[in-house]
Amino acid sequence: IRLNQIGFYPDQRKIAVILNHEDIEDFLIWDTDKKDIAFEGKLEKQIKKTRSGHISRIADFSQFRKAGNYVLILDGVGKSYPFEIESHINQNLGMASIKAFYYQRASVELDKAYAGIWARSMGHPDDQVMIHPSAASETRKAEEMVSSPYGWYDAGDYNKYVVNSGITVGTLLSLFEDYPDYFQNLDLNIPESGNQIPDLLDEIRWNLDWMISMQDPGDGGVYHKLSTAKFEGMVEPHLAISQRYMIAKSTTATLDFAAVMAQASRIYKSYYPEESVSYLKAAEKAWGWAKANPNVLYNQNEMNKAFDPDIQTGAYGDFSANDERIWAASELFITTHNLIYWDELADADQSFKLPSWNQVSWLGFYSLLRHQDKITLLPLEWMAVLKINLLTAARSQIEAVAEQPFQSPIETNVKNFIWGSNAVAANQGILLLYAYKQNGERAFLEGAYDNLDYILGRNATGYSYVTGFGTKSPQHPHHRLAVSRPDLPPLPGFIVGGPNPGQQDGCNYSSSFADESYTDESCSYASNEIAINWNAPFAYLVNSLEAVNK
Ligand code: G3I
Ligand code: 9MR
């Protein structure tokens, strides 16, 4: 019995998917507090097949709306994992999805008061980062030491990558910009809590303070990453002490940086006015570098032919900086209203592309749509094209949901099952929420719920893919902070990458079908790693659903 292992809002569609039972007709919802039958229903007659050939049927109990704690029972088969119906069902999950970033903080000790049993020593002060020869410039010579502390660890590894930080911070800043009221008093119990500034903004600032130091003060170009030469072992952060390097500037990193700093500048204006000014200066300087260097793409293999030491960590290499340029120009235009940025957008490709670390044009377009009423300079017809592209893309994602065995948008195209597929589900949810905001069409909101249900257990493996949430959740994520502390449960609030038929890690998978290519083993970096760019859209999805339901 596959269903969302956390639960449902009273008025949302509520279904469970029953696998491998053609014969059964009736199901019931059992109230585990009152110890009584709460609802009786019939399974839908229609039979679907999963990718691996299992028969699937739907138990729909949407009509049942009463708050409480339940299990679904199938005669002769058994009962589901427990779930709840509640008007703030995703609140704790939403907070945990943001608190996860606190656990990823570099260059600081985590105190028991905030981290509980996951308290730990400081790791990676990053005050002696060596300029890799690929990053040498007039202002900074190879092998010189620079300081670049703070920031979040990227993922299961301890490195800090500007490209991936870019989409992460952009997504979280947009979450704040879309629902500012929701975050005014949301207390995440982080060291900055209680300082009159929304906790979400303080958590993001931890990473902005690092990103700012990734800019070469001389020419404004931004280093692609701060990393060791090879991945560290699976050890605690304070024991991972190999030399870290500033590595190569890139156009993608520099434009992502410009976008994030421009967006941060307007959002932090009333909270941290001095930083707001320096963020905008940094963004404009980065834009200038990218103008002069429009196509410096990071290619790790080529770089390793020219410079020592070889760098083998995450590449975040990309074939094109056009989408990064669109994103940066959009955010700079919104913040400054300067028409030089509009010039970059007038002829831009407006077709819809689901955001991912190497495809960010729609981070900019979402922002333009968010600000459309405040920017009178925007041509109406051009904006109309954006709107129609948004709605068309959202509609195409929910078009075939009814035919899917687990009834979610991610299943409608097998190509969605890539490395980090769970973030595809989350990013589809974001698109659907923007579409819902545009025209209030309920089907878009339901589509976003469907992908959250998928993430939380209504899927082919039966896992709730978020650590610490749901009955069957990942116990062995590829996460150095977790693997190095086998005495503790995994740190909570992290979404794992999810099914990925590429299976690039060579671990043992029990299935090769796309939606079943997941293994809860710490060796599995291709299906069971955690990453900030996956947690950010997940946090967006969960928290915005809470905000919309407030
Ligand atoms: O671009 C091609 C596309 O044309 C093709 O259709 C598709 C078919 O699979 O592959 C696409 O390339 C994939 C690429 O991501 C872009 O999506 C590669 O196969 C895939 O191997 C690659 O995976 C990336 C992985 O690093 C390996 O480079 C993930 O997106 C990325 O999230 C992941 O990031 C790592 C960092 O390097 C290191 N830190 C941890 C982090 C998370 O695992
Ligand atoms: O831990 C690394 C993870 O963050 C990356 O996503 C992954 C792919 O680049 O690589 C992991 O590191 C492994 C390395 O690639 C191969 N040797 C084993 C490392 C740890 O499992």
- Give 371-427 as a DSSP string: TTTT-TTS-HHHHHHHHHHHHHHHHHHHTTGGGSTT--GGGG-GGG-STTHHHHHHH
Q: Give the position, in ligand 2's atom list, of the atom nearest the Cα of 526.
A: 6
Ligand in nearest proximity to the CA of 415? 1
Site to probe by mutation for ligand 1, drawn from 158, 416, 418 as the one with most ligand atoms within 8 Å of Cβ, is 418
Which residues pair with residue 78 across a beta bridge? 74
Which CATH code for domain 1-89?
Answer: 2.60.40.10
Per the residue annotation, which of 126, 154, 157, 178 is the catalytic one?
157
Ligand in nearest proximity to the CA of 161? 1
Distance linking the first and last C-alpha atoms of the chain:
30
Q: Which residue has the least CA distance to atom 34 on ligand 1? A: 314
Decide if pLDDT at 14 tops 90: yes
Q: Which residues have any ligand 1 atom within 6 Å of their CB? A: 154-157, 314-315, 358, 418-420, 502, 504, 525, 529, 531
CA distance 242 to 233: 10
Decide if pLDDT at 377 tops 90: no
Active site residue 181: no
Instruction: Give the residue from 110, 335, 280, 129 showing the smallest Cα distance to 206.
Output: 110
Tens digits of residue pLDDT in 195-213: 999 999 999 999 999 999 9
pLDDT at 425 (0 to 100) = 99
CA distance 276 to 378: 24
CA distance 107 to 128: 12
Active site residue 529: yes
**1-89 and 91-456+530-548: same fold?**
no
Q: Which residue has the least CA distance to atom 4 on ligand 2? A: 157
How would you label 82-121 residue by residue, b for 16+ Cβ within 10 Å and e otherwise?
Answer: bbebbeebbbbbbbbbbbbbbbbbbbbebeeebbeebebe
Q: How far is CA 402 from the centre of its chain?
A: 26
Interface ipTM: 0.94
Q: 91-456+530-548 belongs to which CATH class?
A: mainly alpha
CA distance 353 to 32: 44
Pairing of strands 15-19, 129-131: unpaired
Per the residue annotation, which of 199, 453, 505, 529 is the catalytic one?
529
CA distance 418 to 362: 19
Decide if pLDDT at 376 tops 90: no
Tens digits of residue pLDDT in 289-313: 999 999 999 999 999 999 999 999 9
Domain ranges of the chain: 1-89, 91-456+530-548
pLDDT at 400 (0 to 100) = 97
User: Nearest 5°: phi and psi at 223?
Assistant: -65, 145
Per the residue annotation, which of 478, 479, 515, 546 is the catalytic one?
478
> The tokens of 316 are what?
């975040």
Tens digits of residue pLDDT in 61-72: 999 999 999 999
